[in-house]
Every structure is written in C-alpha cells, then in structure tokens.
Amino acid sequence: MVTVNLDQVMAQPVNLDTAAFPPLTNDLYLRAARGEPTERAPVWCMRQAGRYLPEFRAIRVENEFFKVCRTPALATEVTVQPIRRYAGLLDAAIIFSDILVIPQAMGMVVQMVPGKGPHLPEPLRSPEDLHRLTDKQPGYSVDKELDYVYRAITNTRHALEGQVPLLGFVGAPWTLMAYMVEGGGSKTFALAKSWLFKHPVASHELLTRIADVAAEFLVGQIRAGAQAVQVFESWAGELGPQDFAAFSLPYLARIAAHVKAKYPDVPMTVFAKGAHYALEQLAADTLYDVISLDWTVDPAVARSRVDAAVQGRRTVVLQGNLDPTVLFGDEQTIRERTREMCRAFGTQNHIANLGHGMMPSHDPELLRVFLESVHEASRT
Ligand code: CP3
C-alpha cells in the first residue's frame, strides 16, 4: 500500500540554494556518461516518474499536470518517488516536467487532456503565425519564463540528498515543432511535415528559434543544479534520412554546441527515437556524449557503427534499449531479455534504460525485476 500525505508534501520547506548541494554518493551514471570505467552499467528509465506509480496518481488526483511541474514541492516529490520506491536500484533521477514547457514559454497554450495527451488549442497553421510566438519580443527572457523548472531542479537536488545525480531535459526542435503545428500528437504528422516542404524557410526559422530557447533553457537547468541533460527528439523517426539531416540533426548539434561551450564537462544525451539511420552522424557530427537507442536497433550493431564513425577520436556511450513492452511479460522473460541486452552492449560505455518510456499500464514490481536484472547482468 502506498500512501501520500499531500499536506506533508506541501509543508516541506523549499530550498533554492544553488551554492551548497549535498555531496553525491552514487556517481555511476556520471562516470559512465563520461566514458569512464564502471563496475556495472548504471540504470534509469525514461518516464520513471509517471502514471504507472500509484503514488504519482495519488498526487495527480488533486493536482493538474502543469501545476505539478510549476510547484517545486510537488515536482520534487514525484521526481523522488521512484528513487524512494526502488531504493538502491536506480542510478539517476530525471526532473519532473515536460518537453511542452518550451512551446508554453514561447507563448502557446498547452493543455494536458486526461486520456488524450497534450493539446495545443491554437496551433501554428501558417508561417504568419510565427508572429504569435513571444521569444523575439523585447525583454523576453527564457530564464524568467522557465524559472519554475529551475526552482524545481534546485529543490530536488537538495531532496535527493546526493543519492543519485539529477538529469535535466528538453524536447528537440523538430519534435516541438511537430506539436506546435499539429496542435497535439498525430499519426501521420501530415501538417508538420507539410510545413517542411511547403515552407522550408519558415520551418528553419521556427526550428532555429526553438533550438535557441532549448539551449538557453538547458544552460539554466545546469546552473540550477542539473548534473547531466538529455534532449528528446521523440519524432525523429517520422523523418527519413534526408529530412532528418536537414531539419533535425543541425538543431540537435546546435543545442549541444551551445551547452558544451558553457559546460564542457556536463554529460549530454540525445534520444532521436526511430533515427537508426543517423547513428553515424549523431556520433561524428554532434557533441553528445551519450546516444540513446530505441529497441529497434541491435546493440552490437549500434556499437560497431558508432565506433566506426568516430574512429577513436572520442568515446560515445550508448543508452538503452529494452523494448518497454517486454515489461508486460513474466519475470523470467524480463530477466532473460535484460541479460541478453546487457550482454549485447557489453559492460562498459553503456547506460541501461528502456528503448522508450514507462507506460501507465506497466506493473511497478516488474520494473523492479528489470532494474535488479541490470544489476546482476552487467557486473564486471
Ligand atoms: O520521468 C520522466 O521521464 C520525467 C518526466 C517527463 C514527462 N514527460 C512526464 C509526463 C519527461 C522526460 C517527458 C518528456 C516528454 N513529454 C516526451 C519525450 C519523451 C517521449 O516519451 O518520447 C514527450 C513526447 C512528451 C509529450 C507528452 N507529455 C505526451 C505525449 C504526454 C501524454 C502521454 C499520455 O500517454 O497521455 C505527456 C504527459 C506526461 N508527461 C505525463 C508524464 C508523467 C502523463 C500525464 C499525466 O500525468 O496525466
């Protein structure tokens, strides 16, 4: 039984001191992300804070999604929930927020509709609509718009008490453009993709503007206490190789270049879901330390392609990539498939994860089986 005492959560003092964070006692994730030797692969999960956890749902009953994001005590509580539940098994926490806070911060209305997902009631229908975005208005400040995320990060760093590092994140430009043009999720992305071909100049302007907001936002997250960051290009796979090269890769590279110029030692991960064709370019033409793989890529093949692309010039770490639906199988299947995955990646330069996020219908106890299996299987 999980009980959440909301009054107690809200009564927690918020600590916004960025000068003195508790010392980190588990730095496995950070060492692996920097390509340093590790005694086993670190493990965490995309969407590890979410609706599959009853303690998360208990918070959400009384608090709208973006209210949780905007209230440091609540964002901290849900970020720490999986760390608490899987004590000693997770090697990183990811700040509770959403990729769609950037469209909001650029002046768009974003609603989270229960059972349907994100909804933007006034999407960008034509290039003239770019004038509605606020990021070029005089006095505009990314840091002011997204200060609530920084506060959540700083407070969470204190609440984690150094147990695991805290990850920040942003959505990548193409994925965010897709939401901003479609007004929500989509099966075909017909509207967003038609922009690329009908309005290539306006598309590049929009992608550049999103990239610049995202890059500044990541810098702010690191300043606030994020110890590593991940960029989610969730809809990369909607683009073929040629359009990925034109409309996604340059902006992913631009974000990494901007952040690395300020914080060269903070590990950066890129998750370009579905862009298996672009592994070489992600490895050779960007500064990301870690490439996160979905489950459609064979780990050994990815390893050899990435190594061939960088030719020993740098170490590229791979993250992933168990098919999340394997967690709908029984314990023995999960153990076997996790062991096979860890063996295929090898014990070094690997951060274990799922190939995409946890789903609301997942059983929390079967995630535990996955985490335990990584601990057993990846030990050197
Ligand atoms: O634990 C974590 O990973 C941190 C928090 C996090 C959320 N969203 C919380 C969330 C992160 C990193 C994201 C990123 C995100 N958001 C992505 C990129 C990763 C991916 O899955 O590809 C995308 C595409 C989104 C957009 C988004 N937000 C969608 C499509 C949905 C609806 C999902 C659904 O099934 O309805 C959200 C809402 C959302 N973001 C939830 C959570 C826990 C569930 C909403 C709720 O609580 O009602």
- Tens of pLDDT, residues 51-96: 999 999 999 999 999 999 999 999 999 999 999 999 999 999 999 9
CA-based nearest residue to 336, from 364, 299, 306, 373 = 373
Spatial separation of the C-alpha atoms in residues 67 and 70, rounded to whole Å: 5
Q: What is the pLDDT of residue 1?
A: 57
- Of all protein residues, whose CA lies closest to atom 39 belonging to ligand 1? 98
Q: What is the pLDDT of residue 115?
A: 87
Class for the domain spanning 32-377: alpha beta
Q: Nearest 5°: CA angle at 172, between 302 and 78?
A: 95
- Tens of pLDDT, residues 91-143: 999 999 999 999 999 999 999 999 899 999 999 999 999 999 999 999 999 99
Which residues have CB under 6 Å of ligand 1?
46-51, 60, 65, 94, 96-100, 112, 117-118, 169, 185, 232, 234, 357
Q: What is the pLDDT of residue 2?
A: 65
Regions of the chain short of the pLDDT cut 70: 1-2, 380
- Of all protein residues, whose CA lies closest to atom 7 belonging to ligand 1? 98
pTM of the complete model: 0.97
CA-based radius of gyration for the chain: 20
216 sits in which H/E element: helix 200-224
Distance from CA of residue 78 to its chain's centroid?
16
Q: Are strands 117-119 and 111-113 parallel, antiparallel or unpaired?
A: antiparallel
Which residue out of 99, 104, 169 has the highest number of ligand 1 atoms within 8 Å of its CB and is therefore the one to mutate?
Answer: 99
Determine contact, residues 318/345, Cβ cutoff 8 Å: yes
Secondary structure, 3-state, 175-214: HHHHHHHHCECCCCCHHHHHHHHHCHHHHHHHHHHHHHHH
If you ran DSSP here, which 8-state letter would residue 23 be given?
Answer: P
- The rounded Å distance from CA 347 to ligand 1 centre is 29
| Six token digits for residue 71 | 């209230």
Dihedral in degrees, nearest 10, Cα atoms 271, 272, 273, 276: -120
- Of all protein residues, whose CA lies closest to atom 45 belonging to ligand 1? 65
